[in-house]
Amino acid sequence: MDQAPIRLLHFADLHIGVDNYGPLDLTTGLSRRVRDFVERLSEIVDYALTHQADLVIFAGDAFKNREPNPTWQRAFAKQIKRLSEAAIPTLLLVGNHDMPVIEARASSMDIFAVLDVPHVIVGRREQCHFIKTRRGPVQVVTLPWFSRSNLRLAITQDDLSIEQMDAEQSQAVSRVLSELAKQLDPHVPAVLAAHITVRGAALSSERATMLGHDAAIPLEALHLSAWDYVALGHVHKHQSLNHDRYPPVVYAGSVERVDFSEEHEAKGFCWVELARGNTRWQFVPLQARRFVSITVDATEDGESPTDAVLRAIRRHDVRDAIVRVRVRMRQEQVPHLQPRQIAQALNAAYHIAGITSEVVRSNRSRLGADDVESLTEEQLLERYLLSRNIPQEHIAELMSLARTLMRQES
């Protein structure tokens, strides 16, 4: 009788502690934005409990940085405790934001291993974990964020180029995974959990929050024939890299938007029905905080750039969103822009990230000449003064002085 599919929940890149674009919570002294990330984690745990997950894999980067404050750690631990109490095996992979600079130091995940929290496994090393679930066993090979030391790279030259270093690291990853794949039972579902950049992946805001050098590993170095599912973390944009081929190679993506570069990205996690040779999966979206950009070209609105912005705001749903407004207008319109009135129109937003303007300095010319070489020195000077938006009365005075100087030189 065939084993029933194992229900696996795969998520990654939580980044608790990111606090940009959020008002201060006076009761905690921390940004209210931090709550968004904790609430997304709570949603994920709710789903795992409601849908009776057999295994949860977190593919790395629990916190904003390598040394999270105790409040962030407590928020993360509360949710992991819920999974532990429900006897759901939970694997916590160590990402680059979790990995200490010095390998001998503890990672932010190690406390769970030290306390021997029931049903929680920490993936600090490259190794194979044989995990018993309610619907049968699973083999999970962990590949945490790697460095030269933890991949045992035998590199002695200090003058290697970045390209040569990346090639060495790719070969090291391939060797390590090849060794671990040999330990697998061919009759038991196998998962690779890795916190890496795979070559060809579409990148997102992780570049701005990057800690350490990021070598891109080619897909073929992952020994895909060994796995039934590859659970990736590190890249914030959700995507499937192996297309319709087997096995699925999937970045779950980050669970909450970090900045406006992720404005249009779906945020969520992966729900996987894991079976030997027949794994299926789907992306489950989360209620991540919306980012809304309102871009307005008010250059044709006379002296009413504010009216143009207000009309644009009415065309957008700004409720509980992080909103930025960008206005393009002419120099003479600048005094008529009313940021306070715009902010009042955005009172339903969660946070106003900024109201910025781009001032267009038009090259106005009374002469209407397109061929600059056909203009006299006097005409060129007048065109220049007009392009600098100098008041007309000043231009007349400057032109009079210029003509006097030109006559004297002639």
Say yes or no to pLDDT of 294 above 60.
yes
Say yes or no to pLDDT of 385 above 80.
no
pLDDT, tens digit, 9 for 90 and up, residues 146-176: 755 555 444 445 566 667 777 888 888 999 9
Q: What is the pLDDT of residue 195?
A: 96
Q: Which amino acid is at 114?
A: V
CB 66 within 8 A of CB 99: yes
If pLDDT is split at 50, 70 and 90, which confidence band does 393 have?
low
Q: Which of 76-80, 333-337, 338-342, 380-384 has the lowest mean pLDDT?
A: 380-384
CB 386 within 8 A of CB 395: yes
Say yes or no to pLDDT of 396 above 80.
no
Say yes or no to pLDDT of 2 above 60.
yes
If pLDDT is split at 50, 70 and 90, which confidence band does 66 have?
confident
pLDDT, tens digit, 9 for 90 and up, residues 103-147: 667 788 889 999 999 999 999 999 999 999 999 999 999 999 875
Q: Which residues touch 245 (CB under 8 Å, ≥6 apart)? A: none
Provide φ and ψ at 73, rounded to 5°: -60, -40
Q: What is the pLDDT of residue 405?
A: 80
Instruction: Provide the pairing of β-strand 229-233 with 90-93.
Output: unpaired
Dihedral class, residue 20 (left if φ above 0, else alpha if ψ from -120 to 50, else beta) = beta
Say yes or no to pLDDT of 85 above 60.
yes
Q: What is the pLDDT of residue 1?
A: 47
Instruction: For residue 151, give the DSSP letter.
Output: T
Provide φ and ψ at 34, rounded to 5°: -60, -30
Q: What is the pLDDT of residue 295?
A: 96
Tokens 């190794």 map to which residue? 127
Q: What is the pLDDT of residue 365?
A: 44
CB 203 within 8 A of CB 235: yes
CB 235 within 8 A of CB 194: no
Domain ranges of the chain: 6-285, 291-360, 372-409
| CATH for 6-285, options being 3.40.47.10, 3.40.50.720, 3.60.21.10, 3.40.50.280 | 3.60.21.10
Q: 255 or 171: whose pLDDT is higher?
A: 255
Tokens (6 digits) for 133: 């679930």
If pLDDT is split at 50, 70 and 90, which confidence band does 223 have?
very high
Q: What is the pLDDT of residue 156?
A: 46
Most confident of 73-87, 291-305, 377-391: 73-87
If pLDDT is split at 50, 70 and 90, which confidence band does 98 have?
confident
Tokens (6 digits) for 191: 């998962």
Dihedral class, residue 353 (left if φ above 0, else alpha if ψ from -120 to 50, else beta) = alpha
**Edge-to-edge strand list for the sheet holding 229-233:** 127-133, 136-143, 190-195, 229-233, 249-251, 239-240
CA 195 – CA 12 distance, rounded (Å) = 9
Overall average pLDDT of the 174-190 stretch? 95
Q: Which residues touch 232 (CB under 8 Å, ≥6 apart)? A: 12, 59, 194, 195, 196, 198, 241, 249, 250, 251, 252
Helices 70-85 and 33-50: crossing angle in degrees, nearest 10, is: 10
Q: What is the pLDDT of residue 360?
A: 86
In angstroms, how far is the first alpha carbon of the chain from the final one? Answer: 105
Q: Which residues touch 142 (CB under 8 Å, ≥6 apart)? A: 91, 93, 123, 124, 125, 126, 127, 129, 193, 194
56, β-bridge pairs: 9, 90
pLDDT, tens digit, 9 for 90 and up, residues 228-244: 999 999 999 999 999 88
Please name the helix (run of DSSP H) or strand (run of DSSP E) that holds residue 175, with its range, or none: helix 162-181
Tokens (6 digits) for 158: 């200090």
Share of the chain above pLDDT 90, in %: 62
pLDDT, tens digit, 9 for 90 and up, residues 342-372: 999 999 999 999 999 999 876 544 444 455 5
Compute CA 390 distance to the chain's CA centroid, rounded to the nearest angstrom: 45
Tally the C-alpha atoms within 13 A of residue 54's C-alpha that lie toward its C-beta.
17
CB 234 within 8 A of CB 254: no
Average pLDDT score, the chain: 87
The reported pTM is 0.82
Overall average pLDDT of the 386-406 stretch? 74
Q: Which residues touch 62 (CB under 8 Å, ≥6 apart)? A: 14, 15, 16, 68, 76, 92, 95, 97, 98, 108, 109
